[in-house]
Every structure is written in structure tokens, then in C-alpha cells.
């Protein structure tokens, strides 16, 4: 067993130090008297001004439409009345379509969106898998296996290029107290040059708040008191790297360039774990990030419905003002009151810019000017997708999103009529989002090194450490989790209450239902009460998903260690009032151990089973309201810090 990092002995933590800290002060919008006006490339290649007011940015096509309308009227003058009336009607329609703003967009833009919405495929009947979902959002994309770094990896190929996927962080890591900074996509783009095809890098961050919107009443209020909403319950980060097809580059050349780029990006990420995804893992990640569990998918004008979830997508069309609050935009987006939030940040040229797509030729290799990676010229885009269980929850999350971005000086566009494109833009496909713009010097935006992006501190709060910082664990993962708690029912009930705040379904298998019934009545869990099952009653297979994981609490006395891995998104918590030699095998095989103060004999057993060495002695000396959190690589000490609601429902979470 590898050496366990302990982080030092557990000092006496003063009572009343349960607040998570030190905590960054609440961000405030950084107002500026000089709000710069961004610019956008017109269809004919000119730069035109975008006003902050809806519908006042003039495009060259609008001027042409006005000229055509005037010409129609002039040509019709002197002709029969029906001809004049028809010409005037057509001219009026042209002017209305070109110059009438509706909800921040010109009418002709809405007409184009409506035509695209009505003419494309918008539904996917169930049951379906990730391959069918990929065909819906990115038709023609093929998933192949190729050698990239240390082994086979998935490569997504389409007419625009090739994409490799890297999962950041360790999704199987159970401890969430080691936050790591992630570079922004602009900082990961390699220097452009004649020896490199144009590249597009997309960073996809997905998360869920804690408490989840559905955890109202006692559960939500208690967890909100515990964390003040500063910790997300779940997070995930995926990096997509695309090489774009250009003349002179064969398919094999592009694969070599993609492999070299992936290696350089992995080195650039440094201590942040990054691993290429194979074909099965890539398809699974696509499904999970799209919240697709095989149920039908259908796009309507205002939303996308995927199973029981409603989703809406938004594009940032005006970047927030530069400053501390603006740099923290992404973490604040992930804490929005939605069932799940997905944020896509991409940097690099779009295939529709001056890049010649098509079959390889013998033309000289040259990088497009649009693929420059300097801070002032990289086309960048940010797209947000919100998912919620009801229309009211989605509306509340949308309002919070708009308020957040507006207060920071930015501006969003809801992609009504084009949410399927928004879904594709918020999946790790490195598809260029509509409207990706080169950075204008007139708009102050955080540079690639200024964005505050991090990974590693999400999870369920167990307690606080000696510095008042949060000690979190990730009970729910794409694999099963085995936890053994030595302490008693009250500590298990504390874990159950906090797991409910993360949206988990909690089921208790117990031989002493009377010890659980008062707690179950007091909680009033969202979606129904906590089921109490007798010993030996199993839970049906298939229960437990990424958005609705399962916590099975087994309180039936000594149990044998599970021989085979369990189902993903399911955690099993075995409760033991005391640690005996019969529990040593289960403890040594557990993914995570939660240990309240032990006696000398128990500490000896735990130290041998977990490889704690000299740290086992501290298990007998910690406070009654503390636990040791042990996985196979580290040991953390945590003060449980019960809230007033938890204290009323459960009592002091001491052993006994």
C-alpha cells in the first residue's frame, strides 16, 4: 500500500470554528464609466460597431437592403397601381426585415434562425445511445481509435478536422480539498507557424450547485447554512483539441500534428492530471455531459428536452469588464441555481474563416492568419448551457445567469431556435461557436493567464480542517464507491442529510429501524421519504445516475467486503458502531474510511488495515465531534461542524 499523506496531526480545533474559511469576499460588479463598444465582422468582411442597445449595430447587408428597397420603389414609379403597390409592399418588407430589432436581434436574423429550426432534424427517439446523440448534434462525425500519447485514444473526425479529448483531473479521486488552477484555452494554443495546421482548443467545465434546486426545505436550508453556497457539489473538466483541415495537409499529417499538440498540452498542464479518452470512455462522457440517458431528445424553439430535463443555451456576445470579478466569471457560472451548468470556452479559428477545407493537395503548407495566438487576435467564444427539472427552475436559473453577466458588464444572447447548435457547442467537440470573435483592443478582457479556473474542490462537505477550510469527499463517481464508517448512527445520519443536499437518493438497509425513524420523519426528503429496508433486501439495478446518484446505507452489523465492483454513481456506506477483527477485511478494501475517535484496540486494527503508521495513535486523541477521512493515498482530519438544523434533527454527532 502506498504511503499515506496525513497533512500533520489534528490540533484541537476551537469550538465555533465551523465556518468555511478563509473565504473570498463576495464579488461585486466592477462598474466603469468608460464602457467600451465591441466590434463584429460583417458578412462582407468589414468591422462594424456593436452598440450596447439591442438592434442598433449596422451591417453592410442592411444598407444594401435599404438601397434595394429604394430602387424598387423608384423603378415602380409611373407604372400601373398594382405594380407600385407590390413594389412598395416588397420594399416595406425588406426594410422591416433589415432594420426592425426584436429582443436584441434584427428581424432578418430571427427569420434565418426560424428557417434553420424548421428545416433541420430536431428530435431523437429513445432508447438511443451516445452514437445516435452524436449524429444528431454533429451529423457526419465519425469516432475512430488511434495512437496519440501512451496508448489508443478516440479521435472524432468530420469534414472540418479531427478532435482528441482529454479528461482533466482524476474522476476517481475521492478527496476534494486540493484545488488546482487550469490554464485558459488561449494559454494552451501552441504558437502558429508554417509547420502547424490551424488549431482550436475548447475547455469544457460542467458542475452542479450544492444544494441542488430540488433540495428545498430542511435539507437545502441546512446545507446552505453549512457552506453558504460556496462549494459546488459536482464538477468535471474535459479539454477538446481540434486540428482543422487545410490544403496541403493529408489525414496522416493531421493525426501526427494532433498527437504532437496533445503531448505539448499535457506538458503545459503540469500537475493537472490529463488523460486521453478511448472510444468507449469518450462516448460515455458525451452522453453524461449532454445529460442523455437513452431517453428521447427533442428541440423546441425555447428549450431542448432530454428525458425529464429541460435545457437552454446562451452565448456571450459582450465580454464582462476586466477585473477581479470578471476573471471569476466561470466559477460563478458553475454555482448558478440549476440542476447542472455547462460552460464552454474555446479559442482558435473557425473553419468558415479564411481556411481552405477539403481534400489534401500539393499546395504549400501555410497557417491561416486567423490562427494567430497573440492575446489581441485569438477568436474566442464562451457558451453556457443550463439544465433544470422544471420550467420554473429553468426560468429562475436563467434570471440568475442574466443578472450575473449583466452586473459584470457583459451581455448574453439566448439561442432560441438554435439550442441544438448550443448543445453541440457545449459538448467536447471543439466546434466553433457562432459569433466567435477576435479580441478587439477596445474591449478589456482577462488574458489567457488571468482567468480564475480551477478544479478539485467540489464534493460533499464532511467538515472543516484546522485552518477552517472545507474538507470534501466525492462519494458519487462514474464508478462505485465503498465507504466504511466507524462511529455510529448519528454520524451516518449526518452524511445522509448532506448527501440529500447533493441530489442523491438515500436508501437505508437497517436492522434497527427505530433508530432511524425519527430522523426519516424529520428530514422529509425531496421526492419522498427515505426508504428503510430490512437486512438482505437489495436495491434494484440501474438506480443511480450522474444527476441522481444513490447512497445506500448498510446498518446491519459486520458485512463482508464486496468481491465485484458495484454500479456507477452508487455509494455504499457501511455503518459500524465498533471496529472488530471481523471488519478488517472490509476496511482494507474500502475506497474511503470515516473514523470517529477510536479506542486503542480499534486504532491498532485501523492503522494496520489502512497503513496509517504512527498516525494511528491520533485516532484515539481527536475530539468527539471530529472524524478522520482516509482513502488509499491520504489522511485528513475534519471537524463535523453540524448546523443548528442538523443538531436538532440528529443531536451531537458523537460516537455512541
Q: What is the pTM of this model?
A: 0.81
Q: Specify which residues 594 forms β-bridges with.
A: 485, 629
Shared domain for 357 and 480, answered yes or no, is no
Residues whose CB is less than 8 angstroms from the CB of residue 605 and which lie 6 or more positions away in sequence, other chains included: 579, 580, 581, 583, 584, 587
The model's pLDDT over 557-611, given as tens digits with 9 standing for 90+, comes to: 888 777 667 888 999 999 999 999 999 999 999 999 999 999 999 999 999 999 9
Shared domain for 145 and 101, answered yes or no, is no
- 595 inside domain: yes
What average pLDDT does this structure show over 124-140?
A: 90
Cα–Cα distance measured from residue 474 to residue 232, given in angstroms and rounded to the nearest whole number = 11
**Beta strands, E only, 524-649:** 532-533, 550-555, 570-576, 592-595, 626-630, 635-639
pLDDT score for 611: 92
| Mutual angle of helices 107-119 and 81-99, in 10-degree steps | 90
- 3 inside domain: no
Shared domain for 521 and 439, answered yes or no, is no
Rg (CA), the chain: 28
Q: Specify which residues 636 forms β-bridges with.
A: 629
- 200 inside domain: yes
Q: Which residue has the higher pLDDT, 538 or 207?
A: 207
The model's pLDDT over 423-469, given as tens digits with 9 standing for 90+, comes to: 999 999 998 655 444 444 334 455 555 788 888 888 999 999 988 88
Q: Which of 453, 485, 517 is a domain's end point?
A: 453
Shared domain for 527 and 414, answered yes or no, is no
Would you place residue 80 in the very low, low, confident or very high pLDDT band (cuts 50, 70, 90)?
confident
- 1 inside domain: no
The model's pLDDT over 178-202, given as tens digits with 9 standing for 90+, comes to: 788 899 898 898 887 788 899 999 9
- 120 inside domain: no
Q: Specify which residues 157 forms β-bridges with.
A: 142, 162
* Domain of 445, in residue numbers: 138-453
Would you place residue 656 in the very low, low, confident or very high pLDDT band (cuts 50, 70, 90)?
low
The model's pLDDT over 254-271, given as tens digits with 9 standing for 90+, comes to: 999 999 999 999 999 988
What domain count does the chain have?
A: 3
pLDDT score for 348: 85
Shared domain for 237 and 368, answered yes or no, is yes
Shared domain for 247 and 152, answered yes or no, is yes
Q: Which of 399, 419, 453 is a domain's end point?
A: 453
Residue 114: exposed, middle, or buried by beta-carbon count in 10 A (0-12, 13-18, 19+)? Answer: middle
Cα–Cα distance measured from residue 22 to residue 20, given in angstroms and rounded to the nearest whole number = 7
Shared domain for 213 and 81, answered yes or no, is no
Taken in order 349, 313, 155, 479, the sign of the CA dihedral is positive
One DSSP character per residue, 517-554 reads: HHHHHHH--TTSPPPEE-TTPPPPTT---SSS-EEEEE
Cα–Cα distance measured from residue 227 to residue 233, given in angstroms and rounded to the nearest whole number = 11
Q: Of the spans 52-66, 100-114, 190-204, 287-301, which averages the highest pLDDT?
A: 287-301
The CA-to-CA distance between both ends of the chain, in Å, stands at 31
Q: Which residue has the higher pLDDT, 105 or 36?
A: 105
Shared domain for 466 and 425, answered yes or no, is no
Shared domain for 391 and 466, answered yes or no, is no
Least confident of 3-12, 41-50, 396-405, 627-636: 41-50
**Cell numbers of 391, please?**
420550467
Cα–Cα distance measured from residue 502 to residue 462, given in angstroms and rounded to the nearest whole number = 13
Cα–Cα distance measured from residue 153 to residue 282, given in angstroms and rounded to the nearest whole number = 9
Residue 52 has pLDDT above 50, yes or no: no
- 34 inside domain: no
Shared domain for 159 and 258, answered yes or no, is yes
- 642 inside domain: yes
pLDDT score for 33: 32
Cα–Cα distance measured from residue 248 to residue 362, given in angstroms and rounded to the nearest whole number = 5
**Cell numbers of 429, please?**
467537440
Shared domain for 216 and 105, answered yes or no, is no
Would you place residue 16 in the very low, low, confident or very high pLDDT band (cuts 50, 70, 90)?
very low
Shared domain for 230 and 276, answered yes or no, is yes
Q: Which of 453, 470, 490 is a domain's end point?
A: 453
- 222 inside domain: yes
Amino acid at each position: 500500500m502506498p504511503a499515506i499523506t496525513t497533512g500533520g496531526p489534528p490540533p484541537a480545533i476551537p469550538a465555533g470554528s465551523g465556518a468555511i474559511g478563509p473565504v473570498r469576499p463576495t464579488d461585486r460588479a466592477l462598474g466603469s464609466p468608460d464602457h467600451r463598444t465591441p466590434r463584429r465582422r460583417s458578412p462582407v468582411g468589414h468591422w462594424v460597431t456593436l452598440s450596447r442597445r439591442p438592434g442598433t449595430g449596422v451591417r453592410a447587408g442592411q444598407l444594401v437592403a435599404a438601397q434595394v428597397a429604394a430602387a424598387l420603389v423608384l423603378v415602380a414609379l409611373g407604372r400601373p397601381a398594382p405594380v407600385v403597390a407590390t413594389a412598395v409592399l416588397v420594399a416595406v418588407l425588406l426594410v422591416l426585415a433589415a432594420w426592425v430589432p426584436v429582443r436584441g436581434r434584427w428581424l432578418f436574423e430571427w427569420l434565418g434562425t426560424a428557417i434553420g429550426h424548421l428545416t433541420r432534424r430536431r428530435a431523437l427517439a429513445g432508447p438511443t445511445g451516445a452514437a445516435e446523440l452524436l449524429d444528431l448534434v454533429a451529423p457526419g462525425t465519425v469516432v475512430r481509435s488511434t495512437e496519440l500519447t501512451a496508448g489508443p485514444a478516440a479521435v472524432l473526425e468530420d469534414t472540418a478536422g479531427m478532435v482528441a479529448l482529454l479528461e482533466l483531473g482524476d474522476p476517481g479521486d475521492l478527496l476534494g480539498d486540493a484545488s488546482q488552477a487550469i490554464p485558459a484555452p488561449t494559454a494552451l494554443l501552441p504558437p502558429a507557424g508554417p509547420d502547424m495546421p490551424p488549431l482550436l482548443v475548447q475547455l469544457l467545465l460542467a458542475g452542479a450547485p450544492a444544494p441542488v434546486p430540488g433540495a428545498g426545505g430542511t435539507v437545502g436550508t441546512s446545507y446552505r447554512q453549512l457552506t453558504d453556497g460556496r462549494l459546488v457539489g459536482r464538477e468535471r473538466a474535459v479539454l477538446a483539441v481540434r486540428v482543422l483541415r487545410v490544403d496541403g495537409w493529408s489525414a496522416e499529417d493531421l493525426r501526427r500534428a494532433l498527437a504532437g499538440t496533445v503531448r505539448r498540452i499535457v506538458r503545459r498542464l503540469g500537475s493537472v492530471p490529463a488523460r486521453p479518452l478511448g472510444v468507449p470512455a469518450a462516448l460515455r462522457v458525451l452522453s453524461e455531459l449532454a445529460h442523455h440517458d437513452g431517453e428521447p431528445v427533442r428541440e423546441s424553439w425555447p428549450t431542448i428536452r432530454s428525458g425529464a430535463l429541460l435545457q437552454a443555451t446562451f452565448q456571450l456576445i459582450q465580454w464582462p469588464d476586466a477585473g477581479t470579478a470578471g476573471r471569476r466569471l466561470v466559477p460563478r457560472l458553475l454555482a448558478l441555481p440549476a440542476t447542472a451548468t455547462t460552460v464552454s470556452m474555446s479559442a482558435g479559428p473557425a473553419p468558415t474563416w479564411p481556411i481552405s477545407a477539403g481534400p489534401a493537395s500539393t499546395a504549400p503548407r501555410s497557417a491561416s492568419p486567423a490562427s494567430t495566438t497573440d492575446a489581441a487576435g485569438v477568436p474566442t467564444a464562451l457558451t453556457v448551457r443550463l439544465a433544470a427539472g422544471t420550467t420554473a427552475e429553468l426560468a429562475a436559473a436563467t434570471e440568475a445567469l442574466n443578472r450575473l453577466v449583466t452586473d459584470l458588464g457583459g451581455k448574453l444572447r439566448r439561442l432560441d431556435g438554435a439550442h441544438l447548435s448550443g448543445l453541440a457547442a457545449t459538448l467536447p467537440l471543439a466546434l466553433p461557436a457562432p459569433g466567435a470573435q477576435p479580441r478587439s483592443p477596445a474591449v478589456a478582457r482577462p488574458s489567457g493567464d488571468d482567468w480564475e479556473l480551477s478544479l478539485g474542490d467540489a464534493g460533499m462537505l464532511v467538515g472543516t480542517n484546522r485552518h477552517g477550510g472545507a474538507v470534501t469527499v466525492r462519494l458519487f463517481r462514474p464508478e462505485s464507491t465503498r465507504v466504511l464508517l466507524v462511529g455510529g448512527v448519528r454520524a451516518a445520519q449526518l452524511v445522509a442529510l448532506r448527501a440529500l443536499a447533493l441530489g442523491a437518493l438515500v436508501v437505508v438497509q437497517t436492522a434497527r429501524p427505530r433508530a432511524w425513524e425519527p430522523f426519516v420523519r424529520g428530514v422529509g426528503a425531496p421526492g419522498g421519504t427515505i426508504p428503510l429496508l430490512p437486512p438482505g433486501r437489495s436495491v434494484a439495478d440501474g438506480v443511480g445516475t450522474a444527476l441522481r446518484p444513490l447512497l445506500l446505507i448498510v446498518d446491519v452489523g459486520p458485512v463482508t467486503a464486496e468481491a465485484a465492483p458495484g454500479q456507477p454513481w452508487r455509494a455504499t456506506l457501511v455503518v459500524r458502531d465498533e471496529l472488530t477483527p471481523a471488519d478488517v477485511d472490509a476496511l482494507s478494501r474500502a475506497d474511503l474510511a470515516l473514523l470517529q475517535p477510536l479506542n486503542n484496540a480499534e486504532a491498532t486494527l485501523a492503522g494496520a488495515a489502512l497503513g496509517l503508521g504512527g498516525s494511528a495513535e491520533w485516532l484515539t486523541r481527536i475530539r468527539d465531534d471530529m472524524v478522520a477521512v482516509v482513502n488509499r493515498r491520504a489522511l485528513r482530519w475534519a471537524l463535523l461542524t453540524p448546523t443548528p438544523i442538523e443538531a436538532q434533527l440528529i443531536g451531537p454527532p458523537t460516537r455512541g
